[in-house]
Amino acid sequence: MEKGPPPQNMPAPPYPGGPYPPGPGQAYPPPPVHPQAAAYQYAPQQPHVGQPVVVMQQQLPTDSPGSMLCPHCQSTVVTRVEHKNGLLTWLICGAMGLFLCWPCCWIPFCIDSCKDVEHCCPNCNNVVHIHKRI
Ligand SMILES: [Zn+2]
């Protein structure tokens, strides 16, 4: 394989006219710069800060019947609550057993505030929300 000679970079020819000072009639005056206008142009624009979007979040009822939208029948109902034995119920029962109060283990099963609350829809009888203690 024969490689051709590398391309030779020819030096740029000298400027024919050479630098010459512009005559008085050829000099273009620079455009007038208004400092105030320039400053106004480069002033940072204030971003338009709108009102924060408030997302209306449905407040779920906790341990008492509350009004909420049933996802099953798509109607706003006042829920019917049922208390179910939840994790907290069994934890209290276990704690009672650990502290040798085992005859009292049944107490949390009789106290509604120790149980999970199941919210049912009175229209369609579906469970719409379960409020867990833990
Ligand atoms: Zn419903």
Q: Are strands 76-78 and 80-84 parallel, antiparallel or unpaired?
A: unpaired
Express each pLDDT in 40-73 by its tens digit.
Answer: 555 556 666 666 666 556 678 888 999 999 999 9
Whether 49 is in a domain gets the answer no
Distance CA 112, CA 96 (A): 17
Does residue 61 fall inside a structural domain? no
Distance from the alpha carbon of residue 58 to the mean position of ligand 1, in angstroms: 16
Distance 1 CA to ligand 1 centre (A): 86
d(CA 132, CA 70): 18
The β-bridge partners of 80 are 120
Please say if the pLDDT value at position 10 is more than 70.
Answer: no
Q: Rounded to the nearest whole angstrom, what is the distance from the C-alpha of residue 124 to the centroid of ligand 1? A: 4
Q: Does 124 fall in a domain? A: yes
**Where in the sequence is the domain holding 87, given as residue range(s)?**
67-131
* Total count of domains within the chain: 1
| Inside any domain, residue 11 | no
What is the separation of C-alpha 51 from the centre of its chain, rounded to a whole number of angstroms?
16
Residue 25 lies in a domain: no
Query: Rounded to two decimals, what is the model's pTM?
Result: 0.54
Whether 119 is in a domain gets the answer yes
List, for residues 91-103, the tens digit of each pLDDT value: 999 988 888 777 8
